[in-house]
Amino acid sequence: MKNSTTISISSDPNTDIACRTIDKKERSLLRKVIDRIADRCRSRSLFILHYCTGCGAIELPPTITSRFDSERLGIQPMVTPRQADILLITGYLSVKTLKRVILSYEQMQGPKYVIGMGSCTINGGMYWNSYATIKRLQEYMPVDLYIAGCMPRPEAIQEGFLQLMDKIDKGQANAWETYYQNYDAYLGNQQALFGPNWHTPTDVIAEAQHYNFLTEKSIGQHTALLAKFASEYVTQPIPNKVLSQEEAVE
Amino acid sequence: MSEQLPSVLESVFREIPNLAFEEKGARRLRVKLRADTLPALLELLKGRAGYLHLSAISCVDWPTLNEFELVYHLWSYEIKTLISAHIYIPKVPGRYVSVYDIYTPAAFFERDIHEMFGVYFDGSPDMEPFILTEWEGPPPMLKSFSTVDYVEKTFKWQDYSPLVND
Ligand code: SF4
């Protein structure tokens, strides 16, 4: 693959060669086979971000440790978002916590998977009439899988993990791509809750462009509001170039 | 009833005008008094009866009254009786004096009540929001604030909803 003649290396000086944009035509049969193998390997080695939000988190210690031992499935906790694959939302999310969850989610590298665990993440659960908690997680970030229950037992969580692994294996766990493809809508929902000044330090639009997921729905009236923070953060309402590494690190 | 009351408590209670008390059970006393006499009661209890521990201040918003009820829960390691002192303060303007100078933990309880009910405590060291730092609505524990209405206005449901009238 590496030295295949079909790969043209972009002359754009800002493009990191290792992370260059891949042309659609490049996805040859061999490439598809490799993707398939990669997906299979990926589904066997997953790290959950160690970030617990609601009471459902109490089911995680038995799930991860000796009794149910999710390491059998290749799933382990990880302490930082940058090295994690799975964001497990373990219960109710207050509006304040949601902000932190979005910050963590945006820092995770693709491909990344979100599991909404517990009834609270699905439709508010027993906190359906609370002013402080959000009701539907999927409005604010794409969710791959929900695990119903209040709280789901470790068996149910394992079952969810197995389903996610199966989806990854089949190449169907692509919810994270929709965050880039429909970023304007997700940002709109976030702004409706947090106010028009909501912004994160992550340059999602540039990332979308980088991953080649930029669509006409990635940018819109909501991302336009980010313009006033463009100087403070990297975020630009309409990017005209892929960020260089130095800019991205800033 | 007052035979069982420790004499030191009896002497304290006698000094406060218009104080009524009731034994709710072994080691539980419910005391009702005028709002302006509460600091005096706390001082006396602390000084004479070893009531060093203010374990909580709670606030009740009675929807049918124009007053908030404030309850000060006190514990003495000598007398080993819980005293709950109940006072009523008018909802408008909703101000009361801080007892921070008598019990420092009061600062935290008063800040919490200010955040949840909007009661302002004069002399409390910090009346800034504590948990609801990012909340702009009215104090949410007020009975006049309908959380269900707020939820309906702010959030959307899945195809099904927990609201009965749907
Ligand atoms: S679904 Fe149940 S267990 Fe989970 S966070 Fe909500 S109330 Fe707690």
The tens digit of pLDDT for each residue in A29-39 reads 887 888 889 99
Residue with CA closest to ligand 1 atom 2: A150
* Ligand 1 binding pocket mutation candidate from A53, A92, A98, A137 (most atoms within 8 A of CB): A92
Q: What is the pLDDT of residues A178-227, one digit of tens each?
A: 999 999 999 999 999 999 888 888 888 888 988 889 888 988 889 888 87
Residues B104-129, buried b or exposed e (16+ Cβ, 10 A)? eebbbbbbbbbbbbbbebeebeebee
| Backbone angles phi and psi of A195, in degrees to 5 | 100, 160
Residue with CA closest to ligand 1 atom 6: A120
Domain layout of chain A by residue ranges: 23-173, 174-234
Cβ(B64)–Cβ(B118) under 8 Å? no
* Ligand 1 binding pocket mutation candidate from A59, A88, A89, A119 (most atoms within 8 A of CB): A119
How far, rounded to the nearest angstrom, does the alpha carbon of residue B122 sit from its chain's CA centroid?
Answer: 15
Q: Identify the band that residue A248 occupies on the pLDDT scale cut at 50, 70 and 90.
A: low
Looking at the predicted structure, is the pLDDT value of residue B163 above 80? no
Looking at the predicted structure, is the pLDDT value of residue B142 above 70? yes
CA angle, A108 then A114 then A117, to 5°: 135
User: Mean of the per-residue pLDDT values for chain B?
Assistant: 91
CATH of range A23-173; options 3.40.50.12280, 3.20.20.60, 3.40.30.10, 3.30.70.2190: 3.40.50.12280
**CB distance B158–A122 less than 8 Å?**
yes
Q: Identify the band that residue A134 occupies on the pLDDT scale cut at 50, 70 and 90.
A: very high
**CB distance B151–A131 less than 8 Å?**
yes
Partners of B130 on chain A (C-beta within 8 Å) are none
Partners of A95 on chain B (C-beta within 8 Å) are 134
Question: How confident is the model over A24-50, as a mean pLDDT?
Answer: 84
The CA distance from B150 to the nearest CA of chain A, in Å, is 6
Looking at the predicted structure, is the pLDDT value of residue A3 above 50? no
The CA distance from B134 to the nearest CA of chain A, in Å, is 7
Q: What is the pLDDT of residue A8?
A: 47
Question: How confident is the model over A113-122, as a mean pLDDT?
Answer: 94
Q: Identify the band that residue B159 occupies on the pLDDT scale cut at 50, 70 and 90.
A: confident
Token pair for B143: 């009975």
- Rg of chain A over all Cα atoms, to the nearest angstrom: 19
Q: What is the CB neighbour count within 10 angstroms for residue B21?
A: 20
Residue with CA closest to ligand 1 atom 8: A55
Q: What is the pLDDT of residue B2?
A: 46
Looking at the predicted structure, is the pLDDT value of residue A23 above 80? no
**CB distance A136–B158 less than 8 Å?**
yes
Residue with CA closest to ligand 1 atom 5: A91
Residues 6 or more apart whose CB falls under 8 angstroms from that of A123 comprise A135, A136, B157, B158, B160, B161, B162
**CB distance B156–A124 less than 8 Å?**
no
d(CA A92, CA A132): 10
Residues 6 or more apart whose CB falls under 8 angstroms from that of A192 comprise none
Q: What is the pLDDT of residues B94-127, one digit of tens each?
A: 999 999 999 999 999 999 999 999 999 999 999 9
d(CA A89, CA A79): 15
Q: What is the pLDDT of residue B116?
A: 95
CATH class of segment(s) B7-154: alpha beta
Q: What is the pLDDT of residues B2-59, one digit of tens each?
A: 457 889 999 999 999 999 999 988 899 999 999 999 999 999 999 999 999 999 999 9
What count of CB pairs under 8 Å joins A to B? Answer: 43
Token pair for B78: 């000598």
Q: What is the pLDDT of residue A37?
A: 92
d(CA B166, CA B161): 7
The CA distance from A96 to the nearest CA of chain B, in Å, is 7
Q: Identify the band that residue A24 occupies on the pLDDT scale cut at 50, 70 and 90.
A: low
Q: What is the pLDDT of residue A232?
A: 52
| Backbone angles phi and psi of A167, in degrees to 5 | -65, -40
